[in-house]
A and B are shown apart, each in its own frame.
Chain A
Amino acid sequence: MNRNPFIMAVVAAGTAMLLLSCEGGILGGLYDEPEPVSEYGFIRKETSTGHGEIYINTSGYTYWVYLDFLNAEADSVNIISHDEEPDSWDIAVHRYDTKTNGGAVAMTSFADIDYFAESGHVPEDNEFIEDIMTEDVIAVDMSGMMDGNIIYVSDFYNPELSEWLDVDTSVMPPIYTRSDHVFILRLSDGRHVALKLENHMDNHGVKGYMTILYRTLETPDNGK
């Protein structure tokens, strides 16, 4: 009796049954499952004078996230329900858009926030850009986008600081290009704060989660 066909069938069937037991694949061990980050706000403070890292959730279109560098506080405020803004704040972030509390922003040529702080360099006055009032930038309802009906609210907007992330929505999915530059924020009370957008995603790659480095500069005007 020729056993070849039988052996062949048994080997193939055995192999198939063995591997069918791993329906979901065999490479799962190669991958990581980072714990979701649940801590938001000023998550790292180097010194009491305003130096550290901020992690905020800006994925919602209907919120401004207000940041207060002096008190290291972050607050989310609903735009639609017209919640009041905090008593004290320095900048606010909506998605990737920004506004300042009467301040102005300049982009520097530095890529490292500490090098910039140690350089003592401060841009010229004419390099600082103040907020502008807009009618068609702060989008709060994108559901009608495909019908050409995006709903915006009137609000201030800082075009310079908002360059920390370029979002090209002319293609799908949008292309996100993060700026490597350090920005310097000049506040109405004379404080100067260096800012750098370190990341715009959470640790799973989901966009709308901003990691911002900040460092309050020791200039003569600070804290006056």
Chain B
Amino acid sequence: MNISGHIAAVFAMAAFSTAAAAQYRVEGRITDKAGQPLAGAAVIVRGLEGCGTIADTEGMYSIGIPDNEGHSITVSFIGFLTQSRLVKPGNASGIDFSLQENTAALEQVVVTGTRTPKTLMDVPIVTKVISAHDIARSDASDIQDLLITELPGIEFSWSMDQQVNVNLQGFGGSSVLFLIDGERIAGETLDNIDYSRLNLDNVERIEIVKGGASSLYGSNAVGGVINLITKEQTEPWTVDLSTRFGAHNEQRHDINAGFAQGKISNVINVQMTGIDSYDVGGTGDFSTVYGNRTLTVKDRIVYTPTGRLKITGRAGWYQRERDADAIVKDRYRDINGGIKGSYTISDCGNMELAYSYDEYNKSDFMSNTGADILNYSNVQHSVRTVFNYTFGKTGTLTAGGDFMNDYLLSYQFKDGGSHSQFTADGFAQFDWNVTEEFNVIGALRYDFFSEKRTGSISPKLGLMYRIDSGKAGHFAFRGSYSKGFRAPTLKEMYMSFDMASIFMIYGNPDLLSEASHNLTLSAEYFKRYFNVTVSGYYSMVRNGITTIWNDSLNSMRYANDSPSNIASADVTFSMRLPCGIGTKLAYTFSHEYKPDGSPSMSSVRPHSLTARIEYAREWKNYGFNVSLSGRYLSGFTTHVYSDSSYETLERQKYPGYTMWKLLLGQDIWKGIRLNLTIDNLFNYIPDYYYNNSPATTGTAFAAGLALSVEDIFRTIRK
């Protein structure tokens, strides 16, 4: 039966239940785990044919039971796991249901792969989703902790000075584009954005598209896009408080407050985090892990003056201080804001116009004098527009353009100077439903960079064939070619940096754009409570930009590297059963090599695996979940510069490791959640702390408490 059929049947049942002479009534509210009402959720009484109803816009339901017997009430809603509960006369009010998202659901809406909302079932580009449920269940302390738990093939390590470096199956920080609600993030350190800015609080989901995506996102989308989608306020009011304590005085405190009244809604989030410096107590590339403290404030306001127009304004502040030196504290600040208008032209078309501002600064705070000295500032002004038009069932046209002014002041430029450039682009994509089962998507984009006066054309072609076999499940086969590119940054073109009075690092204005050609094949199988996905990726990277020792300059200089190829494959299995058992297993194989036979300096681990198994139960005033999650990263051998010279390479072997986490989460009463975590369960301690080793000192404990004031208030009122 299709969705409309279900709804019609439920309405018929609702009519029947109203007409029947009720002996007692069962009443309550149906929400998701975040407390959002699930309007339209179906409620049926097992064993009483035709006895049912649906929840109203507030998630409230009321159903009459025609006899005086106890019955099992079952609640279901698309995209969520079905729940049942026993009711009996005298205990039939306040029967609330808090449904869990079904992470294997086909109905999950995603936007990153096509820049238009599509369900996972319909999206022609392979998209992975980390849902709010996954985020909550992982008890991740930050975005890095979350991604390494949920996504095999991604690794966060340190480059020099303990600056964080990402590696997504061979693609580094400059080749993986991180977005927040589709917006770029200013600033970088050693080619990586400041990942501490990616605050997980109030995140609805994270979408990951591997492979080149420059036809929609332009420069930097060489190896993939990771897009954080934030929640929108729908409740009349909410106040959520949470706190978490871990090893080495690690702390995280969040306040979320929101309201929705008439045409206006607003949500504000304040987060403070911190961890002390600590010694790892072993030998290695580092002995002390630098502590730091962050403060993040973000506010989002939505004004809907008419049914067709929606204006979203946002503002954010971020600051972090790092204890890398006794006297000089590294300070990082960001201020950002934006305004976006979305206008529905007709039932078929809509357009969006947005302006975004992002300023990211780095400074040295001299604790002995109190002086705070700016040494880096990246300021980005962006204007973008996108237009969607749907031609009935035939397909959707998406077209748009972006303009960005990029200003960079840096201590790495001569005399601490600055450079700026603008980029402009236009793109078009057509998502064509050739038949109900067969879909073709094609896109083309042109980007122009003022400083080099050069452009880049990025095409994409994707095919999807889908089979809906009813009870046998859904099959989807996808294949795509896409180009990714990365234009040389201002830093790479103009750097002139004295490295500790030992050597210079020079930029190179003659650099060519880095480009990747990406092929993807995938097969997915979905059935009600589980899915299996097998994907293969092949990327050819040309003109990779890196620093290479230059004999004539007797210094490092940015240059285009020799070609490299990356072959990888993923297998993912996830399942969540209504009885409360869930599991997710994901394995990735990656192999990066140089087609010209030159020694590879790749830091890709060939094998990685993530796993989680969990069990959850819920009663009226108490629920719990226990989950065991872990990851395995294989060892690997690569080439590094020898200790004595940058002209010779030597083989270096890095060990593999596995780390596991045990979590007990408890929902006490209503609106109170307590998490207790044992991290590094099997007490893994590296023999030698390489920069890609986990900075662990052994088994550690963490505890977190979250309060939903709105839920508590509602329960008290009852």
Chain A interface (Cβ within 8 Å of chain B)? 2, 4-5, 8-9, 11-13, 15-16, 19-20, 22-28, 30-34, 59, 61, 142-148, 169, 171-174, 176-178, 198-199, 201, 203-205, 207-208
Contacts and interface: CB of A to CB of B under 8 A. Distances in A.
A8 B309 contact: yes
Nearest to B407: A23
A99 B341 CA distance: 69
B621 interface: no
The winner among B366, B409, B420 for most chain A CB atoms within 10 A is: B366
5 contacts: A16-B383, A23-B379, A27-B359, A147-B647, A178-B326
A62 to B, nearest CB: 11
Contacts of B333: 27, 30
A8 B646 contact: no
Contacts of B645: 146-148
A143 B503 contact: yes
Given A4-B305, A4-B308, A205-B366, A171 B371 contact: no
| Interface of B: prevailing SS | strand
Nearest to A9: B353
B597 to A, nearest CB: 25
B629 to A, nearest CB: 32
A79 to B, nearest CB: 15
Contact of A30 (B286, B308, B369, B372): B372
A24 B501 contact: no
A24 B405 CA distance: 10
A172 B327 contact: no
CB-based closest 4 A-B pairs: A148-B644, A8-B341, A31-B374, A146-B646
Contact of B499 (A26, A173, A177, A198): A173
A174 B306 CA distance: 59
A146 B286 contact: no
A12 B361 contact: no
B277 to A, nearest CB: 12
Given A13-B383, A169-B500, 8 more contacts: A5-B343, A16-B355, A23-B379, A23-B405, A32-B373, A145-B502, A171-B160, A201-B328
Contacts of A25: 359, 361, 377, 379, 407
A11 B405 contact: no
B554 A143 contact: yes
A15 B160 CA distance: 39
Interface of B: 160-161, 285-286, 305-306, 308-309, 311, 325-328, 333, 335, 339, 341, 343, 345, 351, 353-355, 357, 359, 361, 363-364, 366, 368-369, 371-374, 377, 379, 381, 383, 405, 407, 409, 418, 420, 499-503, 549, 554, 644-647
| Interface of A: prevailing SS | mixed
Contact of B405 (A20, A143, A174, A198): A20
The winner among A26, A32, A33 for most chain B CB atoms within 10 A is: A32
Contact of A27 (B306, B335, B418): B335
A34 B370 CA distance: 10
B372 A19 contact: no
Given A12-B354, A147-B645, A203 B359 contact: no
A31 B363 contact: yes
A147 B646 contact: yes
A201 B361 CA distance: 22
Contacts of B351: 5
A173 B353 contact: no
B644 A12 contact: no
B341 A12 contact: yes
Contact of A12 (B326, B339, B502): B339
Given A61-B501, A172-B160, A11 B341 contact: yes
B647 A19 contact: no
A95 B420 CA distance: 36
A4 B366 CA distance: 51
A24 B343 contact: no
Given A11-B339, A24-B377, A208 B501 contact: yes
Contacts of B286: 171
Contacts of B327: 178, 199, 201
B285 A171 contact: yes
Contacts of A198: 368
Nearest to B342: A8
Contacts of B500: 169, 172-174, 207
B343 A4 contact: yes
